Structure 1
Amino acid sequence: MLPGPSNSLMDVAGLRVGHAQRVGGGYRTGTTVVLAPPSGAVAGVDVRGAAPGTRETELLDPRNLVSRVHAVVLTGGSAYGLSAACGVVERLADAGIGYPVAGGVVPIVPAAVIFDLGRGGTFRAVPDATFGTAAYDAACQGTVATDGGAVALPPSVAGVPWGRSGTGSPNGGTGAPGGSPDGGTDAPGWSLDGGVGSGSVGAGVGARAGGLAGGVGTASVVLPGGATVAALVVANPVGSVLDPRDGTLAGARYGLPGEFDHLQPPLQAEIDAWRPQNAPSFNTTIGVVATDLTLTKAQCGKLAAVAHDGLARAIRPAHTMTDGDTIFGLATCAGPEPDHDTLQEVLAAAADVFSRAIAHAVLAATGHEDAPAYLDVFPSAQRKQT
């Protein structure tokens, strides 16, 4: 099997991804939006953590009315951050996208949060509706952050320095204050990314992973029959993402041929020296797993449930009392209904892509104070070019 063209969630045709994050001025947090096609995507959810922060997950129970969602919001800010979904709802409503009711539409936008409070220095510096609006705009317009600032931003964002967000660089563009990964210390820095950005972007900009820098990761696979299965994850666990035997990333064991060939087990001296002191006491890993096949609402719930196996393979321990681990399952229904054997393949792939996405999240994350990057701690894990 091979990955899709971008090895990301966007390989599932019809899905779009946008990130908005703010670093500096007390902030280190952000929001990631997954947009469904205008007609929506069939959705399910599986919540395994004991401390979840979610919105509209009960609606996704197969016994309940609405089958399709129009977006999924993954965000920092703990319970405060759930308001980021309001900005996405407003944008969708303005576009006439939502569940039709008398007099208009009601956009269906489930959401889940990670705990990243205070990681930029100010406890209540959290995502609000403007984060959702900005991430939605990024998803709609591709990578919108350019030096010219040509894209209209929400009023609370306009006039604030911002720069293009690249892989592993939360404020990597020239418009970011100070031009530094931390966004400078004099002013808060906005940055946006539309597309396959990973690492310290969007909801993952303040994430930590067992003392290492966490972040956003994504991966995909095209099955032999042509169906695509993909995942996007925000990795912020208290548990370790390392294989305890050799210090490798546990999720990388499920990589496709060649995907993680640039990695090797780090030197034992580096493993012995790693003594994380700042693992988060509150945490949570959240994400989306999707396919282009036509699934029922119950099958989407099963897709999400099996993806939790991939989470548990890549993070140890998982689903603890202070985790809010939540995974949404989406089906865009561009392809046919799967037969029994194909559905089995899709479910098996869901676990693997989620594990791979967690490994990519940690690999792409930029280290910052109290949370070093994986390759900063284990530099020997990077194979030398020959």
Structure 2
Amino acid sequence: MRSAEMTATSDVTIVGGGIVGLATAYALVRGQTTVPGKPRRQPAVTVIDKEQDWGTHQTARNSGVIHSGLYYPPGSSKARFARAGAEAMYEFCAEQGIPAQRTGKVVVATSRPHLPRLAELARRGRANGVRLSEIDGAELREREPHARGVKALLVPDAGITDFAAVARRLAAILQAEGVELRANTELRGVHRESSSVVLSTTTGDIRTRRAVNCAGLHSDVVARMAGSIPPARILPFRGEYFHATGSGRDLVRSLIYPVPNPAFPFLGVHLTRTVDGSVHIGPNAVPALAREGYDWRTWSAAHLRSLARDRGLRTLARKYWRTGAGEIARSAFTPMFVRAAQELVPEVRGRDLHPAGSGVRAQAVTSDGTLVDDFLFTEDEHWVHVLNAPSPAATASLLIGRDIAARASSPWSG
């Protein structure tokens, strides 16, 4: 560990060692940056994270689904990254020996009122270049014998992997490439010095030409620390999962999703067979009581005071209180959660479900209470701030990392 008096130097320093931060470092060291009149050289890259391990939060606490680009408005960054990003992830996993399966998934309309939304998903998917087909209830049962619905979309290129394993492999590659990886390192302050920015951390100062904020749940805090006024703040939403045991493990072959509510950037309770053969069901989406509030017992008075003062969040709460109340009820009463799963697979039984942990999603919300539904980046002379990187960020992390690396690149002098 460095003493507080020592100052390291770097071309690019990445704050946040989740899968997007690690993928950005990977893109930087695997790319070639040319400075006119000087030989090519790899930039000096540092990655810091306050946790002991890499990819501890959103990376490790999700369903592990490789998305295909079905849901996103054509022309959005999500749509642009998801399709090619999924293929890049499959390729990386194959090269590195990380389990990944192209299982396919079905998005199920459980009743006729859902059919217009299903048709809109099909339109978006085709516009985004997603392979899909529309199947009726009988064809759905041939593929997923225990699922029930009037119609479904079959998306063959969706799949599953272990994103925590991907993050660990990226970290190992980066270490071999000479990247300085500082775990257990928390950012405490930022100040500028001439053409550089100095990051004060718990393991010493880092002087860097460019910095990248990939801090996820804390990205708006880091942006303000860096002197920026972020256009959105982070509202953490907790998603709780269950895993199926006993006969419940035999109810799902691949991925079974509901038709999502287009008003929200959440996909609803779904059933997922994971790479280890288990079946996960979830998540719901409830406001977390702390940025890392993985259960109802974990809360932060400062966080709650901040929420109470935020006009945009009050607007959001007034607009969607009924939906929010339903999500909270599903969190508090397991039978309600089970009923949500039974809409897709009626044979699901509460006795076969056991808590499987939870994740907290860093959802950006604007000052007028709008949920940001796409990637959100801001930049200045020294910083690239990643202020919203929701699903499919893990799926498309390798491509997102290339995009961020291009934004962060500047001429490295020898």
Q: TM-score range by the shorter chain?
A: under 0.3
Greater share of strand: 2
TM-score normalized with structure 1 length: 0.28
Q: Which has the larger radius of gyration?
A: 2
Greater share of helix: 2
